[in-house]
Amino acid sequence: MTSRAIRILGIDPGLRRTGWGVIDVDGNRLIYVGCGSVESRDALPLSERLRALHDGLARVLGDFQPGEAAVEQTFVNKDGASTLKLGQARGIAMLAPALFGISVAEYAPNQIKKTVVGAGHADKNQIRVMLGVLLPKADPSTPDAADALAIAITHAHHRQSAMLMRKVVG
């Protein structure tokens, strides 16, 4: 019996820059496929910035054809306006795969850190070091792309329970 690799898109939402990372999961093997970020220009109206994020993610979805997607859950910070803008970018990050018929799982930042590094309060450098171990061919050019790969890895490890939870709730 041969296993079929599952392609996962991880998305780290942000209004200025949304990171994306694509991996294949074949059994227990994680295989780096690609990563990058989609950017929007600060000078544009909010609606145009959101459209730029959507269009960029739609290109990634079309180019890489993932079977599943995962997004980092929004954390609330002290600045309400920033939280709201992040929430809008996160909405685009969830909508784009859904429009392609792809289910989207959500993971808390601490769960992502704990899955990748082993500690829920790991810093960005620790995540980057572990990415080098888990995906040696990956060389993300931005922290957002690195975070997106970490989100994809988290989904690879938790996808069975995420899919079961969706069936129970749905």
Q: Among the options 12, 24, 68, 147, which is catalytic?
A: 12
Q: Which of 24, 68, 144, 147 is catalytic?
A: 144
CB 23, CB 156: distance < 8 Å: yes
Which pairs with CB-CB distance under 8 Å and at least 24 residues apart come from 40-43?
Answer: 40/15, 40/16, 42/16
Choose, from 26, 48, 68, 72, the residue flagged as catalytic: 72
Q: Are strands 17-26 and 29-39 parallel, antiparallel or unpaired?
A: antiparallel
Is 24 assigned a catalytic role?
A: no
Is 42 one of the annotated active-site residues of the chain? Answer: no
- Please say if 63 is a catalytic residue: no
User: CA–CA separation, 106 vs 155, rounded Å?
Assistant: 8
Which residues form the catalytic set?
12, 72, 144
